[in-house]
């Protein structure tokens, strides 16, 4: 794609000074489906990624997902775009650290009260109405 490739276009949209443009849903449709390109697209902030050839019904399904079940947008120092996590597993349960060799924490010792807990990660979320 000239004068810039799709990844550069997504980056320019996601880092735009215009707040309404930043939240535009983006489906990347490409003939390049190698792992590196898929990861670059995901990390640049695409909502959905599709590799050619695609059927019109598959594009329609992706559009329905974007409109019907939009993911919240995340903003931090290194990323701005839709939440890349596909599964909502709810709040983490338990107190044991996953790293090997770490002793399990005593129950409730390290847990935060609801007043101490940080807010949701979805900074900068917008509804579809705000995007239009």
pLDDT tens for 62-76 read 999 999 999 999 998
**Is 93 a member of any domain?**
no
Where are the extended beta strands (E) located within 20-112? 27-30, 48-51, 73-75, 80-82
pLDDT exceeds 90 at position 42: yes
- Tens-digit pLDDT profile for residues 78-107: 899 999 887 766 676 766 666 666 555 544
Question: Is the pTM for the entire model greater than 0.85?
Answer: no
Domains: count for the chain: 1
Q: How confident is the model at residue 49 (pLDDT cuts 50, 70, 90)?
A: very high
**Is 92 a member of any domain?**
no
**Is 99 a member of any domain?**
no
Domain range for residue 64? 6-84+119-131
pLDDT exceeds 80 at position 116: no
**Is 105 a member of any domain?**
no
Q: Tell me what pLDDT residue 59 has.
A: 96
**Is 113 a member of any domain?**
no
pLDDT exceeds 60 at position 41: yes
CATH number at 52 reads: 3.40.50.2300
pLDDT exceeds 50 at position 122: no
**Is 30 a member of any domain?**
yes
No. of H helices and E strands in the chain? 5, 4
CA angle, 127 then 8 then 44, to 5°: 50
């Amino acid at each position: 794609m000239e004068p810039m490739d799709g990844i550069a276009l997504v980056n320019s949209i996601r880092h735009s000074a215009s707040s309404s443009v930043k939240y535009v849903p983006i489906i990347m449709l490409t003939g390049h489906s190698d792992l590196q390109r898929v990861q670059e697209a995901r990390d640049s902030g695409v909502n959905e990624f599709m590799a050619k050839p695609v059927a019109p019904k598959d594009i329609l399904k992706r559009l329905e997902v974007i409109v019907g079940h939009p993911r919240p947008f995340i903003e931090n120092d290194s990323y701005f775009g839709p939440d890349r996590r596909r599964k909502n597993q709810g709040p983490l349960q338990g107190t044991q650290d996953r790293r090997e060799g770490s002793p399990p924490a005593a129950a409730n010792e390290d847990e935060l009260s609801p007043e101490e807990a940080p807010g949701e990660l979805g900074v900068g979320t917008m509804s579809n109405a705000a995007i239009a």
